Structure 1
């Protein structure tokens, strides 16, 4: 079966200017993203986050405590688009 749909690009930009202790996850898409959850894996600790909606242009701060500066770990981001489909993005900090 041939699929003709264009791939859905990751709607986020991860801003690392204050790394390794703080990151900003910005919605760079034109649509609101709902039911966001962030889970940190790796050294240190980042509290799990859950927010109802991240509108276009908005950013969410991620704080990492006590991690090694050369390896802050991975964040798994889950969200839903307006059509209610769930997506997942795993990004190395």
Structure 2
């Protein structure tokens, strides 16, 4: 039994029944005036994420061209462990250091 679409159907039926029980049908409005600002914001955020990805992966790309596979694996594993340390340990440390 495929249960992949079950939540979509349940939410659709629930929404239809709540609309029917409230006796106030609301039809969707597809008016896109003013959506340009949101689209530009989304584009700027996507470009920022793209440039962040390129900046964060350039060292691995350069190392991959000059290191052996074993050395590159050690480098990427150590980089990953360092990033875990920075993302998990440093924020609580900053909160404690700021208050101290």
Same fold by TM (over 0.5)?
A: no
Q: Which gives a bigger RCO, structure 1 or 2 (Cα 8 Å, sep 6+)?
A: 1
TM-score by length of 1: 0.24
Structure that is richer in helix per residue: 2
